[in-house]
A and B are shown apart, each in its own frame.
Chain A
Amino acid sequence: MPSSESPAAVRARLDLLDPMEVARLGGLEVLTEEIVEGFLTGLHRSPRRGFSVEFAEHRMYQPGDELRYVDWKILGRNDRLYVKQFEEETNLRAMLVCDTSRSMAWTGSPGTVLPKLDYARRLAAALALVLLRQRDATGLIAFDDEVRAVVPPRSRRTHWHQLAGALAGTEAGQGTAAEPALRRVVEQLRRRGLVVFVSDLLLDPALTLKALKFLRHRGHQVVVVHVMDPAEVSLRGPTEARFEDPETREAIVLRPRDWAAEYERTVARAVAEWRLACRSGGIAYHRITTDTPFGQALREIVRR
């Protein structure tokens, strides 16, 4: 961050800062609001774009409008450029399902990169605030090897403080069992809604995908946010090390230098498999690393 900028300017665009630096500036609630403010400021050209929007009317194309909203049929008929405008849907119910297992508490670079859980908390809080500002009822389920916290969806603006408090109060648990948490979503969302699943996906893929597809089958929009630490993407470490899973205690001894390339390929393959599996089930998938600025992550998640 250039030192010439004023603190106010810095705080105005916290969504673009390094997550670790953002975390150093203050608590979850305060900063999340500012992140969302900055994020929404960045969306000024299409303020109504979001999860819960429906088509309302056309207007003339203006420079800066995204081409994907151009109505090509009108262009074909009248040779004029119109863009579609959308109306907010006010009765959307959303559930944020956040993984708080022990693996989420890990960071490959303590002091430099936020632990995945901290990142996920802030990201979930920001998403909740965005949703609540759209007057969407938003709830939260936190889980590790069992469901740890459940906040039913509400649309009041003040509900966000309850959500943020629940997120801040979660502690990293032990193992990861997403299926029970996802099934709990069914209880919370009686009608079609939005499910945002935030996890490092170090869990049973088959069961999790089955549960996610079940939600999709119930008519919910499902978004999977795959949170990864940069050190999980690129393998580093001492000459030789014993790598131990904090949840299962399984370990493996190897030389990172020998395996880095293969490991990256394996991770890329795993991500690709998740992406493919989600796409085939009509589930949106986003992989976010914990060094990604929150605004960028939010933009990617809300982009549809």
Chain B
Amino acid sequence: MIGFLHPWMLAGLLAAAVPILVHLLARRQPPTVVFPAVRYLQSTTREHRNRLKLQHWLLLLLRTLLIIALVLAAAGPTLPMRGVPGHAPTALVVVLDNSPSSAAVLGGVRQLDRLRSAARRALARATPNDALWLLTADGVPRRGDAATLGRLVDSLAPAPRRLDLGRALALAGEVLSAEARPGEVLLLSDLQQTAVSGAELRVPVVVGRPEAPAPANRGVARLAPGAQPWSTDGGRVGVAVAGDSGASAPVTVRIGSRPPKQLLVSPGGSATTTLSGAGAGWWTVSAELDADEFRLDDRRVAAVRVAPVARVRWDPADRHVSTAAEVLEGNGRLARGGELTLGALGAGPSVVMPPADPAELGALNRALARRGVAWSYGAPVSAPEASDSGALLGRVRVQRRVALQAGASSSGRTGVLATVGGAPWIVRSGEVVLLGSRLDPAWTDLPVSAGFMPFMDVLLNRVARGEVVVVEGTPGDPVPLPDLVTAVRRDGREWRAEGGELFRPTETGVYFLVAGRDTVGAVAVNPDPRESALARAEPAELRRLWPTARLAPLAEAGELAFGAAARGDLRGPLLWGAFLLGLAEVGVASVAGRRRAA
């Protein structure tokens, strides 16, 4: 489709009508001249009228075409054309995938350097009339001229954030949708198989594809510190290694600056070990592999809270609760004491069960109200139901329960932790946790289910004590902050925050969540484990996902920029055409003139 740089100049095409108008005006009824020798005129014109008429029409055609050619040239027509040295103004989005995998080294050269080189070649072909954007792994399209974006490309480093190429192409398409100029996308990536996804391509896309196979790689795919908080005796940590390098590799695991432990883990496998010796407090646990061609996934971190186990008081008469507590005590997950009351409302943190006798519910509700608990017990419910699956608890049967009612003035740390048929079943208000059913098989199958012990561990050591779940994140992805968080800290830096908002960590590492003066949680930020799989997507898969994209070797992709959507500038040919038309016009006119003069 022909486009025009200055379409308003096409109004000048009206000038093409000038020769025709002149011709028509000249054809008005001419004056009559009495001339006796008309017979000679008739004889003269009889032979040459056709030739002269042809000459006149030819001149008219040449002059009209000459004007049209000049006006079209002034309007700057462009035509989709491949292989032309120049290009018409184009809107180009360079998607440069500087995700962690771009740090992989192949043949002594970092993959990112190859991508940058291709990007620089593409930008070097830009003209001042082009609109240019650079889209990197941070997902922010940056507009600028070739020099500015060139400097930006030069300063790029492997980003910790993963880039989904399908989404990146979609975003580039959105950027170009607002652009009047014909758009084009140049995707420069290592084309990890795990990063490609489908996208609707509405503009021409050139995909620069590395031809060399990706290097073999091993990476720490998972570092799981298990249930927290750890006791001062330490805890177990699980390590998984991903990659396509067959040999087992030593993984160095350490907590804080304590002496490390080493595990031998094969790619695709995992191992666990116990770390100890850390005092109460927050610790960073790391697992590290020996350096390979891709360094960024060789280390992974996790946050561990080390605290003494909860000191719990329970009613020995409550058989199932007592049994569970004794098992946890035997495993060092709790100790006997008065810090936490299990089964009834105590002076401190408590896990409250509804009384077996409904008549005692009123007294219990009054006691809860006095403690400022925002929840109270309501009417007993006897219909068999099942709990809803959640973070705290899986699906268990519930035969009996007492409805939990939110108070009119709920305040403090209130929240539903588990539900049954959508109705609250376990709730927390401040340091009091209310259970909707007694931990008795007559009320629920939970005490006789496999998840009962982990549930009790979490309930006593984490939920009831107000511990915050340590969450995992990846750079750039939002992490919801728990309530009461006022700041996020990492390595001496602090970001003001508000509980409930989203926090976007930019780098890998452990971020600690602070509420007032207390550290209430942590976010362990690690590279997306999918980045460890460096294997490239096959061309067939790329063609399936992006049918209209043009695949090209990465080394040539820069030269092909402005080529897929390149539009040949037709001004030169048109001006040449106008010149030739002018010559032809002069030729025909001079032939006519010579005939007149002869």
**Least Cβ distance of A257 to chain B in Å?**
6
User: Is B409 interfacial (CB-CB < 8 Å)?
Assistant: no
**Least Cβ distance of A105 to chain B in Å?**
9
Max chain A CB contacts within 10 Å: which of B40, B595, B597?
B40
Assess whether A257 is in contact with B596, with CB atoms less than 8 Å apart.
yes
Q: Which residues of A contact B383 (CB under 8 A)?
A: none
Which partner residue on chain B sits nearest A247 by CB separation? Answer: B36
**Least Cβ distance of A226 to chain B in Å?**
12
Number of A-B contacts (CB under 8 A): 94
User: With A and B bound together, what is the CA distance between A262 and B43 in angstroms?
Assistant: 10
Q: Which residues of A contact B45 (CB under 8 A)?
A: 252, 254, 259, 262
Given A240-B26, A261-B595, A245:B31 Cβ within 8 A:
no
User: Is A237 interfacial (CB-CB < 8 Å)?
Assistant: yes
Assess whether B30 is in contact with A241, with CB atoms less than 8 Å apart.
yes
User: With A and B bound together, what is the CA distance between A250 and B37 in angstroms?
Assistant: 10
User: Is A251 interfacial (CB-CB < 8 Å)?
Assistant: yes
Which single member of B37, B38, B596 contacts A251 (CB below 8 Å)?
B38
Q: Which residues of A contact B48 (CB under 8 A)?
A: 259, 262
Q: Which residues of A contact B453 (CB under 8 A)?
A: none
Q: Digit string of A266-291 for contact with B (CB within 8 Å is 1, else 0)?
A: 11001000000000000000000000
**Least Cβ distance of A178 to chain B in Å?**
15
Interface residues of A in 30-49 (CB under 8 A from B): none
Assess whether A246 is in contact with B43, with CB atoms less than 8 Å apart.
no
Which single member of A238, A265, A266, A267 contacts B33 (CB below 8 Å)?
A238
Assess whether A200 is in contact with B36, with CB atoms less than 8 Å apart.
yes
User: With A and B bound together, what is the CA distance between A258 and B31 in angstroms?
Assistant: 17
Q: Which residues of A contact B598 (CB under 8 A)?
A: 261
Assess whether A244 is in contact with B33, with CB atoms less than 8 Å apart.
yes
Q: Which residues of B contact A267 (CB under 8 A)?
A: 37, 40
Interface residues of B in 18-52 (CB under 8 A from A): 26, 29-45, 47-48, 52
Given A254-B45, A258-B592, A243:B597 Cβ within 8 A:
no
User: With A and B bound together, what is the CA distance between A75 and B423 in angstroms?
Assistant: 157
Max chain A CB contacts within 10 Å: which of B34, B35, B38, B597?
B35
User: With A and B bound together, what is the CA distance between A255 and B596 in angstroms?
Assistant: 11
Q: Which residues of A contact B36 (CB under 8 A)?
A: 102-103, 106, 200, 202, 229, 232, 245-247
Which partner residue on chain A sits nearest B595 by CB separation? Answer: A261
User: With A and B bound together, what is the CA distance between A267 and B44 in angstroms?
Assistant: 9
Which partner residue on chain B sits nearest A106 by CB separation? Answer: B36
User: Is A260 interfacial (CB-CB < 8 Å)?
Assistant: yes
Assess whether B32 is in contact with A242, with CB atoms less than 8 Å apart.
yes
Given A252-B45, A266-B43, A267-B37, A261:B597 Cβ within 8 A:
yes
Q: Which residues of B contact A241 (CB under 8 A)?
A: 30-33
User: With A and B bound together, what is the CA distance between A267 and B43 in angstroms?
Assistant: 9
Given A244-B33, A245-B35, A263:B41 Cβ within 8 A:
yes
Assess whether A242 is in contact with B37, with CB atoms less than 8 Å apart.
no
Q: Which residues of A contact B37 (CB under 8 A)?
A: 202, 232, 267
Assess whether A242 is in contact with B41, with CB atoms less than 8 Å apart.
no
User: Is A239 interfacial (CB-CB < 8 Å)?
Assistant: yes
User: With A and B bound together, what is the CA distance between A251 and B37 in angstroms?
Assistant: 10
Which single member of B33, B39, B595 contacts A237 (CB below 8 Å)?
B33
User: With A and B bound together, what is the CA distance between A253 and B139 in angstroms?
Assistant: 76
Assess whether B596 is in contact with A258, with CB atoms less than 8 Å apart.
yes
Q: Digit string of A153-169 for contact with B (CB within 8 Å is 1, else 0)?
A: 00000000000000000
Q: Which residues of B contact A250 (CB under 8 A)?
A: 38, 42
User: With A and B bound together, what is the CA distance between A96 and B29 in angstroms?
Assistant: 43
Assess whether A242 is in contact with B33, with CB atoms less than 8 Å apart.
yes
**Least Cβ distance of A200 to chain B in Å?**
7
Given A244-B38, A251-B38, A262:B44 Cβ within 8 A:
yes
User: With A and B bound together, what is the CA distance between A294 and B4 in angstroms?
Assistant: 73
Assess whether A244 is in contact with B30, with CB atoms less than 8 Å apart.
no
Which partner residue on chain B sits nearest A104 by CB separation? Answer: B36
Q: Which residues of B contact A265 (CB under 8 A)?
A: 44
Q: Which residues of B contact A266 (CB under 8 A)?
A: 40-41, 43-44
User: With A and B bound together, what is the CA distance between A247 and B26 in angstroms?
Assistant: 28
Interface residues of A in 174-207 (CB under 8 A from B): 200, 202
Which partner residue on chain B sits nearest A233 by CB separation? Answer: B37
User: With A and B bound together, what is the CA distance between A70 and B35 in angstroms?
Assistant: 47
**Least Cβ distance of B46 to chain A in Å?**
9
Assess whether A252 is in contact with B42, with CB atoms less than 8 Å apart.
yes
Which partner residue on chain B sits nearest A257 by CB separation? Answer: B596
Q: Which residues of B contact A252 (CB under 8 A)?
A: 38, 41-42, 45
Q: Digit string of B484-524 for contact with A (CB within 8 Å is 1, else 0)?
A: 00000000000000000000000000000000000000000
Given A252-B42, A254-B41, A244:B34 Cβ within 8 A:
yes
User: With A and B bound together, what is the CA distance between A238 and B31 in angstroms?
Assistant: 8
User: With A and B bound together, what is the CA distance between A235 and B38 in angstroms?
Assistant: 11
User: With A and B bound together, what is the CA distance between A242 and B38 in angstroms?
Assistant: 10
User: With A and B bound together, what is the CA distance between A202 and B48 in angstroms?
Assistant: 22
Q: Which residues of B contact A232 (CB under 8 A)?
A: 35-37, 40
Max chain A CB contacts within 10 Å: which of B41, B52, B598?
B41
User: With A and B bound together, what is the CA distance between A265 and B52 in angstroms?
Assistant: 16
**Least Cβ distance of A274 to chain B in Å?**
12
User: With A and B bound together, what is the CA distance between A257 and B592 in angstroms?
Assistant: 10
Which single member of A244, A261, A270 contacts B35 (CB below 8 Å)?
A244
User: With A and B bound together, what is the CA distance between A256 and B52 in angstroms?
Assistant: 12
Q: Which residues of B contact A254 (CB under 8 A)?
A: 41, 45
Q: Which residues of A contact B34 (CB under 8 A)?
A: 106, 244, 246
User: With A and B bound together, what is the CA distance between A188 and B32 in angstroms?
Assistant: 42
User: With A and B bound together, what is the CA distance between A258 and B38 in angstroms?
Assistant: 16
User: With A and B bound together, what is the CA distance between A240 and B34 in angstroms?
Assistant: 13
Which partner residue on chain A sits nearest B28 by CB separation? Answer: A240
Assess whether B596 is in contact with A261, with CB atoms less than 8 Å apart.
yes
User: With A and B bound together, what is the CA distance between A281 and B38 in angstroms?
Assistant: 27
User: With A and B bound together, what is the CA distance between A260 and B597 in angstroms?
Assistant: 8
Q: Which residues of A contact B40 (CB under 8 A)?
A: 232, 263, 266-267, 270
Assess whether B41 is in contact with A243, with CB atoms less than 8 Å apart.
yes
User: With A and B bound together, what is the CA distance between A239 and B47 in angstroms?
Assistant: 21
Q: Which residues of B contact A103 (CB under 8 A)?
A: 36
Which partner residue on chain B sits nearest A256 by CB separation? Answer: B33
Max chain A CB contacts within 10 Å: which of B29, B30, B36, B597?
B36
User: With A and B bound together, what is the CA distance between A127 and B52 in angstroms?
Assistant: 45
On A, residues with C-beta under 8 Å from B are: 102-103, 106, 200, 202, 229, 232, 235, 237-248, 250-254, 257-263, 265-267, 270
On B, residues with C-beta under 8 Å from A are: 26, 29-45, 47-48, 52, 592, 595-598
A-B residue pairs in contact (CB < 8 Å), sample of 30: A102-B36, A106-B35, A200-B36, A229-B36, A238-B31, A238-B33, A240-B26, A240-B30, A241-B32, A242-B30, A243-B32, A244-B33, A244-B34, A244-B38, A245-B39, A252-B38, A252-B41, A252-B42, A254-B45, A258-B52, A258-B595, A259-B44, A259-B45, A261-B598, A262-B44, A262-B47, A263-B44, A265-B44, A266-B44, A270-B43
- A237-B33, A261-B596, A266-B41 are known; give 9 further A-B pairs, CB within 8 A: A102-B36, A232-B36, A240-B30, A244-B34, A252-B41, A259-B44, A261-B597, A262-B44, A263-B44
* A-B complex: 3 closest residue pairs judged by Cβ atoms: A103-B36, A245-B38, A243-B35
